[in-house]
Chains A and B, each alone.
Chain A
Amino acid sequence: MRLGKARVRNKGTRPVASESGGLSIKPMEQFEVKALFGGDISWYTPTNVTLWMALTVVAASALMIYGARGRALVPSRAQSAAEMTYGFIYNMVKDVAGHDAVRFFPHIFTLFMFVLFANLLGLIPFAFTTTSHIAVTAVLALTVFLSVTTLGFILNGTKFLGLFWVSSAPLALRPVLALIELISYFARPISHSIRLAGAMMAGHAVAKVFAGFASALGAAFFVPVLAVTALYALELLVAVIQAYVFTILTCVYLRDALHPSH
C-alpha cells in the first residue's frame, strides 16, 4: 500500500518505474478502470469493466447452456456441473428462504452466477476483477436491499415492521431491540457489499505484492512464488465461498421479507 502510493506519486512527475530501486510493486494498479480504446471514461465508455463483465456472462452461459446442451438423461461432466449448480442454488433458495421464494430463483441464480464467475475470472493473471469494486458490489447489495424491503412491504403491508418488533422479548426491552434491529437492518447492504469487495480486493492485492517480491528477490524468487501458489489456492476457495455467502445472505434477507414474523 505504502509502496503503491509512493509509486503513484512518482508517476505524477516522471512516468518511469525504475527509480524505487527495482522494487516497484503496484498492488492496486490491477483495479484501475481503463478505457478499452483510450480516451476519457464517461458512463457509456467501453472499459475493462465492460470486457470482464461480458466475459462473466459468456462463462456463465458456457456452463449453463453450452455445458448442458446435450440434455442427456445420463449427463456429461459439464452437464452434471450445470445441473449441480442449478440444484445447489435451487435447494438453497428453498431451504433458506422457503418454498414460496422459489419464484425468485432465477434472480438469485443470476446473482450467484455473476458473482461466482466474476470472482473466478478475476483469478486469471492480468484479469480485472469486477467484484473487487465497491461500486459494483454496492449496487448489487443495494438492489437486493431495496427489492427485498419493497417486497416485504408489498406482501405484508405494515406487518413487515414486525420484523423489528421482537414479540418474544419482554415488553420493556422491545423498543431497545427494535432500535438495534433497525440499525442492523440498514447495516445489511453495507456489510453485504463490503464483505465481497473487500475479500476480492485484499486477496488480489496480496497476490500482487508477493508476485512483486518474486521479481525483486532474484535467486530466492521461489519463496514468494510458493507463497503465491498457496495463496492462489486459498483465493480460489475465497472466490467460491464469497459467491456462496453473497447468495445465501440474499436468501436470508428474502426470507425476512416473505416471513417477517420472528
Chain B
Amino acid sequence: MAETAAAGTGMPQLDLSTFSNQIFWLVVTMVVLYFVMSRVALPRVAAVLADRRGTITSDIAAAEEYKLKAQQAEEAYNKALADARAEANRIVEAAKAEMQAELDVQIAKADAEISAKSAESERRIREIRDSALEMVTDVSKDVTGDILRLFDAKADARSVNAAVSARLKGGA
C-alpha cells in the first residue's frame, strides 16, 4: 500500500507502487493535451497571428498607396500653379505689348500733328515776314518818293523803285 511504502522511505516520490498510476495518467494527460493544443488551440492562435500580419501588411501597402497619391496630387498642384504663373506672365506681356503698340501709334500720330502744325506755323511766319518785307519796300518807295518830292527832285517812279530795291537788296 502507498502509505506504508511512503513511510518506509519518507519520500512519496520514491514509492514505486504509485509509479504505474502516475505514468498511466501522465500518458493520458499528455495525449489529451497534445490533441487539444495541436488540433484546436495552436491552429486558432496561428490563424489569428497570420490574420493580423496580413492586415498590417495590407494596411501598410494601402498607406503607401495613399502617400503616392498625395505626392501625385502635390505634383499636379505645383504644375497647375506653375502653369497659372506662366499664363499670367504671358497675359501681362501681351497687355504690355498691346499698350506699347497703341502708345507708339498715338505718339506717331501726335508727332505728325505737331510737325503739320509747325510746318503751318512756319509757312505763316514766312508769309508774314514776306508781307512785312514787301510792306517795308512799299513804304520805303513811298517814303523815298515823298522825300524826293519834298526836295523837288525830279524822279520818276520807276527809277526810284529800282534804286530803293537795289539799296534794300544791298542792305539786306
Taking CB atoms, residues of chain B closer than 8 Å to A61 are 36, 40-41
Q: Is the CB of B6 within 8 A of A8?
A: yes
A33 within 8 Å of B by Cβ? yes
Complex Cα gap A4–B49 (Å)? 51
Q: Is the CB of B12 within 8 A of A33?
A: yes
Complex Cα gap A57–B10 (Å)? 30
A156: min CB distance to chain B, Å: 25
Q: Is the CB of B51 within 8 A of A31?
A: no
User: With A5-B10, A71-B48 in contact, do A110 and B22 touch (Cβ < 8 Å)?
Assistant: no
Taking CB atoms, residues of chain A closer than 8 Å to B19 are 135
Q: Which residue of A lies closest to B29 (CB)?
A: A53
For A64, give its contact among B6, B18, B25, B45 (CB under 8 Å). Answer: B45
Taking CB atoms, residues of chain A closer than 8 Å to B21 are 33, 41-45, 47, 49
Complex Cα gap A126–B101 (Å)? 111
- With an 8 Å Cβ cutoff, the count of chain A residues facing the other chain is 56
Taking CB atoms, residues of chain B closer than 8 Å to A50 are 25
Q: Is the CB of A33 within 8 A of B10?
A: no
B117: min CB distance to chain A, Å: 94
Q: Is the CB of A65 within 8 A of B41?
A: yes
Q: Is the CB of A134 within 8 A of B13?
A: yes
Q: Which residue of A lies closest to B38 (CB)?
A: A106
Q: Is the CB of B22 within 8 A of A57?
A: no
B3 within 8 Å of A by Cβ? yes
- Chain A positions within 8 Å of B, measured between CB atoms, are 1, 4-5, 8-9, 11-12, 28, 31-34, 40-45, 47, 49-50, 53-54, 56-57, 60-61, 64-65, 68, 71-73, 75, 79, 82-83, 86-87, 105-107, 109-110, 113-114, 130, 132-136, 139-140, 197, 201
**The 8 residue pairs across chains A and B that have the minimum distance between CB atoms:** A64-B41, A106-B38, A43-B20, A53-B29, A33-B18, A31-B12, A135-B22, A135-B19
